[in-house]
Amino acid sequence: MRQSRARRFPSAAPAAVLAIFMLAGCAAGGADAVSGTVPHTVSGTVPVVSPQAAGEQSAVDRPASPSYGEAEARRKLRALEAAFKGRIGAYAVDTASGKTVAYRSGERFPLLSTFKAVAAAAVLHKARTSDPGLMDRVVRWSRDDLKPHSPITEKHVGDGMTVARLCEAAIRYSDNTASNMLLKQIGGPAGLTRYFRTLQDPISRLDRWESELNDWNPKERRDTTTPESMARSLHAVTIGDALDAKDRDRLNGWLTANTTGDARIRAGLPKDWTIGDKTGTGGSYGTANDIAVVWPAEAAAPIVMAIYTNRRAADAPGDDKIVAETAAILVRGLGRLP
């Protein structure tokens, strides 16, 4: 079980970061793994989660290399991409300084399950602004509604779950049936696309439900985003002002308690940093994604990053280590690792 402690995070980004985002905008648990009480931190804090790298040695367990600038980060990402035999899309912003590192940040990649973080934000927003009883409402489904990889909802056919618990299942366990139940609360895929637009994101779009949305090929524009667009949207809902402060805290609590990301962004960064992330994994072209809000151990201001990867061959496997190494390069490019 992960150990956690309270950690302060800013309710809004510095003016320099907000300006950057505005300018850019122009262009497996047990049967009761999701308890009746969802993680809900006190206002202004999130729990620290100590990431555990799975399998291979993490980037931070290897000898440290010096930090470097964006140009060197891009050079290293090009070399990593060539060895990967695929495509890496990445965007990171340091909210303390406004400094960014970007690589293929304007190219489209499949959203996959990364959309679930924003879907939960859309549900929280609706509950706060127009449907005050929404989070406690019980939603039910049948066995016919179950989708592959539904580790929590498959245990609750018949009795159902509250919308709050569905949000937790969708983010912490990437439960696909839970995600579809959330989409139903906000008008389906089109409703989520509309919510992206309220976040000043003109690019990200959801067109299909789980699990059809994972059917992606390099010519597909449906159910896609760009690393920069998703980073901006994640920034808005986790540390910006798109959500009420209590809802931001709740969302960040779910993200930092995520169970699917230990081998990705978390594996590339120091184990005493707080990382709230949402992964996405496809069944073709080796797609493997992760988006995160990262609180360095000794700094209050977080880093927001989005990493999307795919390989050239349709039957190629994804590679978690590429995501982890990309995260380490991004942070060093921002000068936040020695």
Say how far apart CA 286 and CA 274 lie, in whole Å.
27
Tell me how far apart the alpha carbons of residues 143 and 154 are, in angstroms, rounded to a whole number: 8
Residue 29 phi, psi (nearest 5):
-105, 175
112, 214 contact by CB (below 8 A): yes
Instruction: Say which of 81, 179, 204, 210 is annotated catalytic.
Output: 210
- The alpha carbon dihedral of 251, 139, 127, 201 has a sign of positive
70 counts as catalytic: no
Both structure tokens of 324: 């982890």
Report the C-alpha gap between 170 and 162 in whole angstroms. 12
| CA-wise closest residue to 125 among 135, 140, 137, 115 | 135
Catalytic member of 58, 81, 105, 113: 113
Token pair in block for residue 306: 């989005």
229 an active-site residue? no
The residues carrying an active-site annotation are 113, 210
